A and B are shown apart, each in its own frame.
Chain A
Amino acid sequence: MILYYDINYDIILILYPIIEIAIILLILVMNMDLQLASFITAGILAIVGLYGVFFVDNVLKKIIALSALGNGVNLTLIAIGYKAGGIVPIKMPSMEFTMFATKAVYPLPQALVLTNIVIEASMLAIMLALSIVFYKKYKTLKASIILKED
């Protein structure tokens, strides 16, 4: 089971920015649908995050990967609530109800994203603090040394 951790998988992470640049080019040059583009980006972010958590043998990189995974999920949520030419979902007294109902974006995903950002910030803060403690003791950030069997 340990064997497959011996190879250095970090190199594959370089692919991520290349794909991102490609998507940005697609949006700018080919007029790609924004929602689709953000779904693809979110998927790549989530996969990179999961990949980093599972395979990269460094505590700090694991934390970065976790934040990438969280951001991917957030982007998925935002893309679900996206509406081309939408307005802020606050109903003013002057607005007509039908206009408001057809134009306003869906607010629920945004509320979820806000909550998730807060929760994730606190979780990552605790994890970073703990990794400082570990680094002081072990003088290394390798997860397989710090978190080995005890």
Chain B
Amino acid sequence: MVKIMNLLPLIVVYPLIMAIIFNYIYKSKVIRILALLMALSLIILPFLGSYGTYFFGAHGMESGLISGIAYIFNPAKQIIIFTLMLIGSLVLITGIGEKRVNGLFVSLLLMGLASVSAVVLADDLFNIYVFYEIVAIVQTGLVIASGTEKAYKSAFRYMIMGNMAGSLLLLGIAFLLSATGTLNISDMHNYLANNPATPTIYGGLLMLIIGLCYGSGLPPFHTVKADIYARAKPFVASMLQTYSKAILVAIMLVILKLFGGLSYFNTAHGALIALSIFGMVFGVVMALLQSDYKKLLSYHAISQVGYVAAGLAIGTPLGIVAGIFHAINNFIYKSALFLGAHIVSQKKSSNLAKLGGLLPIMPTVAFMILCAKLAISGVPPFNGFQSKLLLAEAAMNVNMPELAIIMILVSVGTFVSMMKAFYLIFLKPCSEEQIKEYKTTKVSKYSIFSLAVLTILCILLGIYPDIVINQITPYANEIGRIWTL
């Protein structure tokens, strides 16, 4: 049976091939032109394939069991990958504006984009493991590329944890493989639903959760993750946090798909909700204490991971819609904030104590950063409000008002620290010399362009949230299960 050639695998294959090519280019000018072309072509990729289930490896279904690599493509995954690619291309465009453009940077970024989209698309644990590890290596590489000693140290910490968590994840996959005899997620779910639980399956679940925590930066790995966001260049950090959040969504959905509705999943379910609450609170409390703008933003990234994880861990259809929608919003406004931090640190530094009085120098940038700040704290006309409302509603629907209250409290903390940063950067009075210094340094137009695109998206999704929600809802109804406490 011959199918018409489908272009879906291009999402993974095209950036990977281009990553290899970019590796061998040294001339800055050539890289600039090619990277611009790449940035334009990345956005088209998610619209090439048609929806459905794909099998690669020429075997397809054999006696009811799936053999070979399986991908599932549906509107929800399409919109996640589209946002991912959009932010990837905006970061590439920002990177073009840098003084020295490195081919290695572009190639690492493309490799990460390809692997994260593969993790989102894949329907078997083998693929997920392989690309998960590649993302870990890519993130380390991007941090090391910033070239400072602190970056090396944080990369080393990240690798120690990463190697350990990666090995444990593989051990979990091995446990699940020995218990069920397959790595395909749909087959594995069928097996798990029809057979009694064994200790091996518990072990697999535990290790999957540890892998999830590392990949997304939930506690106990939040300090490592916040470190690498803070030590990378800010516009690279916007890409790093996007990778982590996409991996969180993908692996959390895998766990829900595998174990959702099974009786022994209840305690693990509770543990996931607890981890997400820890993520929210630890992130925001640490962020309130920081005096470095990059570090403040990176702890907020952890806190937002907690929100997304809470929505997904609730596991009802509404919770999953809220979680994925919040993840997409989060890609957008958090990247905008990191790009804003890039512009600010180009002006002087990212240390909040040294900054001040930037508002009259660049009012439009300040306005756009303010928009992103309001979006992250959940103020009505922006997209953060819509998803946080949905999250609180989902928490209320499962009869957990405490979770909703914690979400609102964390929102308040986010607002306070964001306004603190805004005051210290833009409003605090500063000396005449500093203003002269500001006027001499120039900001690249490319980063302002990227920031503007993201801000417009923030407002657009805040006014018309249905664009995204309607796409996610069918998939969430398929996975989610209704329950109350």
Contacts and interface: CB of A to CB of B under 8 A. Distances in A.
A and B touch in the complex (CB under 8 A): yes
Contacts of A120: 163, 167
Interface string B172-207: 011001100001000000000000000000000000
A5 to B, nearest CB: 15
Given A73-B167, A109-B174, A123 B159 contact: yes
Interface in B288-304: none
Interface in B183-234: 183
Interface string B132-149: 011011001100100001
Interface stretch (A8-16, A17-25, A131-139): A131-139
B153 interface: yes
B157 A66 contact: no
Contact of B137 (A69, A119, A130): A119
Interface in B94-146: 126, 129-130, 133-134, 136-137, 140-141, 144
Determine the main DSSP class of A at the interface with B.
Answer: helix
A96 interface: no
A73 B171 contact: yes
A34 interface: no
Contacts of A124: 163
Contacts of A122: 137
Contacts of A77: 170, 174, 177
Given A108-B177, A112-B174, A115-B130, A62 B137 contact: no
A31 to B, nearest CB: 24
B157 A147 contact: yes
A130 B178 contact: no
A46 interface: yes
A130 B177 CA distance: 35
B153 A150 contact: yes
Q: Chain B contact residues: over half helix, strand or loop, or mixed?
A: helix
A50 B163 CA distance: 11
B164 interface: yes
A147 B159 CA distance: 13
Interface string A95-139: 000000000000011011001100110111011001101100100
> Lowest 10 A-B CB distances belong to which pairs?
A119-B133, A80-B178, A66-B163, A73-B171, A69-B167, A130-B156, A77-B174, A73-B167, A73-B170, A70-B167
30 contacts: A53-B164, A69-B167, A70-B167, A72-B171, A73-B170, A73-B171, A77-B174, A77-B177, A80-B178, A108-B177, A109-B177, A112-B173, A112-B174, A115-B126, A116-B170, A119-B137, A119-B166, A120-B163, A123-B166, A124-B163, A126-B140, A126-B144, A127-B159, A127-B163, A130-B144, A130-B156, A130-B159, A131-B156, A137-B149, A147-B157
Interface of A: 46, 49-50, 53, 59, 62, 66, 69-70, 72-73, 76-77, 80, 108-109, 111-112, 115-116, 119-120, 122-124, 126-127, 130-131, 133-134, 137, 146-147, 150
